[in-house]
Amino acid sequence: MDYIEGNTVDVQGLNAPLLSPKEIYQKITDTIIKFVKESKGKWQADWNINALDYGVFIRPTSYATKKAYRGVNVIILKGGNPLAIFKNPYFLTLDQIESKKGKLKPKAEEHEIVYFTSLYKFQHAQKEKELTTYKKKEMLEHLKTHGYNPKHFEFLVQIIPILKEYVVYNGEDIKGIDFKLDNLTAVEKARLGYFPPQKERKENERNPIADLIIKNFPKNSAKIVHGAEGAYYTPKTDIVSMPDYKTFNKSESYYSTLFHEMIHSTGHKKRINRSLQNKFGSVGYATEELIAEFGAVFLSAQAGILWKTQKSHAAYLKNWLMTLQFMGEDHKLLMRSATEAQKAVDYLLQVNEQNEPKFYSAIAEESKQTFTVGVEEVARSREKKSVKQIPQLAKPSPKSGVKVPGNLTNKNSAEYLREQRKHKIVKRYDIADKDLAIFLGDLEIKPKESLVATIAGKQGSGKTRFAFRFIDALAQGYKVAHITMEEHRDSNVYWEKADLYFKGDKTISNTNIYSIEDIQELDKIIREHEVIVIDSFAKLKELDSKLEIDTHLRKKYDGKLFLVVFQQTADGKMRGGSKSAFDGDCIYYVEKSSDYKKHFVYIDKHRYQSRNLEELQYNIYSGKLNFTSIVDNELEEIEF
C-alpha cells in the first residue's frame, strides 16, 4: 500500500477529497465492471499499432520517485484494463509538473489514484495537552514532553487511517518536460516494462528478461516440468506442468502461461499459504484465478511482455467474467485479489526493501548497463562477448607463500565463502499462525549451531501464555519439547493453559512435555526435538549453576530452535543472570498493563526481522499484532 505521511493541514501537493474505504472500493470495482462489460470478450487494440514501431511501456511509474505503481493503482491508471500500454510510462501531480516548468496539454486526462495516511489523535482531560497531527514524530515528542512512555503509543493515541485520492497526469499529456525516454539504461527499461519495437524482434524468440526472472525465482519455488499436454499446477506434488516451449505459437503465450501457474504455486502452504482447494464456480475458485491472472499480468509487465492477441485477451476476460458476479456482492474482492497477486509477484521476484526485484542486479551485472530488452539486440551483444578461459592454476607450495589470485582454494577466503553461498539453500521455519509468523520474522534453520530466542517479563505479564502460543504454531510442522519448570506438567494450572492455547491439529501429537529434575535429562530431550521451549531459565539453572545459553544451547547443538523464558524481578533484574538473557539471537520483552488483555510482547533485538521493530507488537491475549502505524480492518493488507 502506498503510504504518505501528511502534515497537519493536508498531504503536501495532494489536495484531494476524503473518501471512506467503502467508497474507494466501490469506485474501483465499478471501473473494472464497466471495462469488462464493455469489452464483451472482443479484443481490440487500444493503441495506435504504429506505436509498436518505436516501443511502448507497460508499467505506470511515478516520475518523482521513479517507482512503479503497485497493486490496484496499476489497474486504475490503465482505465480498468490491466493489458493497456503507454507511450510514456510516467505520471506526475500538478505540483510536480509546475516544479519541472511543464504545462498540461489541452484536454489532458486526469487519473485519480489512491493512497493512505494516518491521523494521530491524543485526547486528554486538560484541553491544552490534546494534539491531533499527521506527523507521528511530532506526536511522540508531544507524549515525551508530557511525561508519557512512547512504548505505550498505541494505547494513548488513536490512529485513524485516512484513505484519499490524488490526481496525476500521464507524461503524454504534458509539454515542456524532457523525460529522456530515449536514453534509458537496461535496468530502467526493465523497471518501466519496456516492450521493444516489433520490427526488432521475432515472436517465437525467447525473451531474455523473462528468462532472467525465471532464473531468479526463489530456490524453494515449485518445480517446473515440461512435456505436459496442458499447463497446470499440482499442489500435492508442488509441480508446475508445462507444454514444451516450441509448442507455443508465440513466446508471450509461453511466458504468460508459465507466470499464471507460478502465481498459483505461491499459494502452497510452505509459501504464502492461500486456499487452493476451491470448488469450481465458487467465489474461492474465481478469486484464485483472478489472483493468478493479475499476477501473470504484473510479471509479464516486468518482462516487457504485451498480451495483444485475440486468444490471450479472451482467456483473460473469461476469468474476469467468472468473478464479475462476486464483485457486485463483495466490493473488496477486487482489491484483495490485486493485493494477493502483488504479494505473490513480490515473493517470486524476491523484492528488497525498495521493492526492487532480484533480477535487476542480474541485468546490470550481465550487461554492464548496456543490455537492451530487444531480443535480437541481446543476442547480437552476447555473440560479440568473448568467453574468457580460466587458466588451470597449479597449487602453490605451502612453503612458497604464493597467493593464488582470486583464491577459491582457500576455504577461509571471502571469495570462496561467497561462491559457496550461491549454491546454499537457506531454510526457514514455517510458522502456522500468520500474526505470530510476521512477528517472529524469517527464522533460519541454521545448519551450524542453533537459533535462540529469549522472552522476559515480570510476574503475571503473560510470558508463559506466549510460550504456549509459540508451541501451538511451531508444532504444526516440527517436533516440539516443552520443558516446563514453573508449572509442573501434571498440574491443573498447566492444562488450563494447554487446553486454551493448544488448538492446532498437530499440536498434541507433535508436542512432548517435560518437568525435569536432573540436568542430565536435558541433552537427550534436545537431541530428540527440533523446537525446544524452556520455562524458565532460572529454574533450569537451579539444576546446574554453570548453565549458559551461548555455550550450552546455541553452540552445542545444530539446527535447533530454542525459546527460553526469563523472569524479571520487580526492579527489572533477570533471575538466572542477565548475561544469558542477552545472548539470544532474538530478544523479546513483555510490556505489562493494568488490563491483562493489553499485555503485549515487543522486540529488543532481532537478527531475522526486516520490519521496523518499533512497529511490531504482539498482543498475548488476542494473539494478534498491534500495528502502530497501520490499523484498520477496512485497510489492512490492501496493496495500492
Residues 6+ apart with CB under 8 A from 368: none
How many C-alpha atoms does 438 have within 13 Å on its Cβ side?
16
Q: Per-residue pLDDT for 324 more than 80?
A: no
Cell numbers standing for residue 502: 493448544
The parent domain of residue 404 ranges over 392-424
Higher pLDDT, 477 or 278: 477
Q: Which residues in 138-286 belong to E strands, given as ranges?
A: 157-170, 174-175, 194-195, 223-226, 232-234, 239-242
Which of 13-27, 255-269, 338-352, 472-486 has the lowest average pLDDT? 13-27
Residue 386 inside a domain? The answer is: no
Pairwise CA distance, residues 245 & 228, whole Å: 11
177 and 36 in one domain? yes
Residue 149 inside a domain? The answer is: yes
621 and 476 in one domain? yes
481 and 568 in one domain? yes
Query: How far from the centroid of its chain's Cα atoms is residue 461's Cα?
Result: 31
pLDDT (0 to 100) of residue 112? 82
Q: Is the dihedral of CA 182, 187, 190, 191 positive or negative?
A: negative
Decide if 28 contacts 334 (C-beta within 8 A): yes
Peptide bond into 536 cis (omega under 30): yes
DSSP tag of 105 = P
Of the pLDDT bands very low, low, confident and very high (cuts 50, 70, 90), residue 22 is low
Range from 445-459, 565-579, 610-624 that averages highest in pLDDT? 445-459
Give the residue-averaged pLDDT of 85-111.
92
Q: Per-residue pLDDT for 43 more than 70?
A: no
Q: pLDDT digit string (tens) for 393-432?
A: 333 333 333 343 445 567 777 777 676 666 566 788 989 8
Instruction: Look at residues 404, 424, 444 and tell me which one is the last residue of a structural domain.
Output: 424
Residue 592 inside a domain? The answer is: yes
CATH number of 439's domain: 3.40.50.300
Instruction: Look at residues 133, 164, 187 and tell me which one is the last residue of a structural domain.
Output: 187
pLDDT (0 to 100) of residue 441? 87
Pairwise CA distance, residues 339 & 322, whole Å: 19
463 and 597 in one domain? yes
pLDDT (0 to 100) of residue 56? 83
Q: At what angle do helices 251-265 and 283-302 cross, to 10 degrees?
A: 130
Residue 20: CB atoms within 10 A of its CB come to 10
Helices (H), ranges, 177-248: 186-192, 208-215
pLDDT (0 to 100) of residue 556? 93
Of the pLDDT bands very low, low, confident and very high (cuts 50, 70, 90), residue 105 is very high
How are beta strands 451-458 and 561-568 bridged, if at all? parallel
Pairwise CA distance, residues 581 & 585, whole Å: 10
Q: Can you give the pTM of this predicted structure? A: 0.48
Which of 16-20, 271-275, 547-551, 635-639 has the lowest average pLDDT? 635-639
Q: pLDDT digit string (tens) for 178-226?
A: 999 988 888 888 888 887 776 555 667 788 888 989 999 998 899 999 9
Cell numbers standing for residue 3: 503510504
Higher pLDDT, 580 or 357: 357
How many C-alpha atoms does 451 have within 13 Å on its Cβ side?
21
For the chain, the distance separating the N- and C-terminal CA atoms, rounded to the nearest angstrom, is 4
584 and 607 in one domain? yes
Pairwise CA distance, residues 213 & 218, whole Å: 10
Cell numbers standing for residue 265: 504455486
268 and 144 in one domain? no
217 and 146 in one domain? no
181 and 119 in one domain? yes
Give the residue-averaged pLDDT of 561-589.
76
Q: pLDDT digit string (tens) for 133-173?
A: 888 889 999 988 888 887 778 778 888 777 677 889 999 99
Instruction: Look at residues 187, 210, 227 and tell me which one is the last residue of a structural domain.
Output: 187
Give the residue carrying C-alpha cell 544451547. 553
522 and 481 in one domain? yes
Give the residue-averaged pLDDT of 28-40.
65
Residue 4 inside a domain? The answer is: no
Residue 307: CB atoms within 10 A of its CB come to 21
pLDDT (0 to 100) of residue 300? 84
**In 3-state terms, what secondary structure has residue 634?**
coil
- Report how many domains make up the chain: 4
Pairwise CA distance, residues 476 & 498, whole Å: 15
Residues 6+ apart with CB under 8 A from 204: 248, 249, 250, 251
455 and 601 in one domain? yes
Query: How far from the centroid of its chain's Cα atoms is residue 120's Cα?
Result: 26
In sequence order, what DSSP letters do the residues of 361-379 get, joined into one string? Answer: HHHHHHHTT---SSHHHHH
DSSP tag of 428 = B
pLDDT (0 to 100) of residue 467? 96
pLDDT (0 to 100) of residue 398? 38
pLDDT (0 to 100) of residue 1? 46
Q: Per-residue pLDDT for 246 more than 60?
A: yes
251 and 214 in one domain? yes
How are beta strands 511-514 and 531-535 bridged, if at all? unpaired
Residue 539 inside a domain? The answer is: yes
Residues 6+ apart with CB under 8 A from 339: 71, 72, 637, 638, 639
Residue 640 inside a domain? The answer is: no
Of the pLDDT bands very low, low, confident and very high (cuts 50, 70, 90), residue 388 is very low
Give the residue-averaged pLDDT of 533-552.
89
Q: Per-residue pLDDT for 575 more than 50?
A: yes
pLDDT (0 to 100) of residue 58? 84
Residue 362 inside a domain? The answer is: no
245 and 108 in one domain? no
Q: Per-residue pLDDT for 81 more than 50?
A: yes
Give the residue carrying C-alpha cell 489541452. 106
pLDDT (0 to 100) of residue 339? 81
pLDDT (0 to 100) of residue 63? 93
Which of 217-226, 285-294, 517-526, 571-580 has the lowest average pLDDT? 571-580
Phi, psi (rounded to 5 degrees) for 115:
-150, 170
Decide if 207 contacts 251 (C-beta within 8 A): yes
Residue 379 inside a domain? The answer is: no
pLDDT (0 to 100) of residue 203? 60
Cell numbers standing for residue 350: 524476491
Of the pLDDT bands very low, low, confident and very high (cuts 50, 70, 90), residue 40 is low
Sheet holding 90-92, edge to edge: 61-62, 90-92, 157-170, 111-122, 131-133
Beta bridge partners of 119: 160
Instruction: Give me the chain's average pLDDT, please.
Output: 78
Pairwise CA distance, residues 552 & 548, whole Å: 6
Our CA angle for 234, 253, 66, nearest 5°, is 100
Of the pLDDT bands very low, low, confident and very high (cuts 50, 70, 90), residue 5 is low
Give the residue-averaged pLDDT of 22-33.
67
pLDDT (0 to 100) of residue 577? 57
Decide if 186 contacts 36 (C-beta within 8 A): no
Pairwise CA distance, residues 25 & 29, whole Å: 6
